[in-house]
Amino acid sequence: MKQVLPWESVPGPIYHDCPAKQQAKWVQPGGWVFVALLLVGGLTTKFKIALVFAVFYTVTLLTKRDNVVTKRGLEIFFDMQITTQYYFWPWEEMFSVTHEEDYRTPGVVTLYFTMGDRTKRLFFPKKDKEAILSLARQQNPAIRIYDAADTKAKAEAARKRKQAEKAAHKRKK
């Protein structure tokens, strides 16, 4: 049975995140080999805790995660085969969205969504950045939009200014 995602009935655009980088081809099969080793180790040795770890690692390998930005806000859905988990961050409760060019992956932008004392980092195609930021401003006019490059430049300038002041103060003594 196909899982019905919570945002399928939401009108308007839905922006899906993308992986920051593709996994190596050996990662998924290597994970299943590791599960097999844990099972064999748990069955043939006195360390039965390995069976518990095998179950947890199997659930991890089977888990599918979907992150989307909709008109309602940031929506995160985990399908773990045995259960599901859904997190929802409404635009009204978000404090800021910070964007940063991902230098490791061309064509991808990193967006940091901040709500309260929590920040969620997600990666989106560069073509979706302006639409997502526009949607954020439209849904929550009080939300703050930061450019990470500008913020880093200002912090670096302040650090250099402080160092220069310290050096000038030492010379006066």
pLDDT digits (tens, 9 = 90+) for 96-113: 999 998 777 788 899 999
What are 123's strand-pairing partners?
110
What are 110-133's pLDDT values in tens digits?
A: 999 999 999 999 999 999 999 999
pLDDT at position 1: 45
Report the C-alpha gap between 132 and 109 in whole angstroms: 11
HSE-up (13 A, CA, CB side) for residue 155: 6
Name the percent of the chain lying above pLDDT 70: 97
* C-alpha–C-alpha distance, residues 25 and 39, integer Å: 23
Q: Tens digits of per-residue pLDDT, 6-15?
A: 788 888 899 9
Please give the domain boundaries of the chain with CATH numbers for all domains.
15-172 (2.30.29.30)
What pLDDT sits at residue 135? 93
Q: Which of the residue ranges 1-5, 57-61, 73-77, 151-155 would you say has the lowest mean pLDDT?
A: 1-5
pTM above 0.85, yes or no: no
Mean pLDDT, the chain, rounded, equals 88
Residue 157 is predicted with a pLDDT of 84
List 113's β-bridge partners, or say none: 97, 120
Q: What is the pLDDT of residue 83?
A: 85
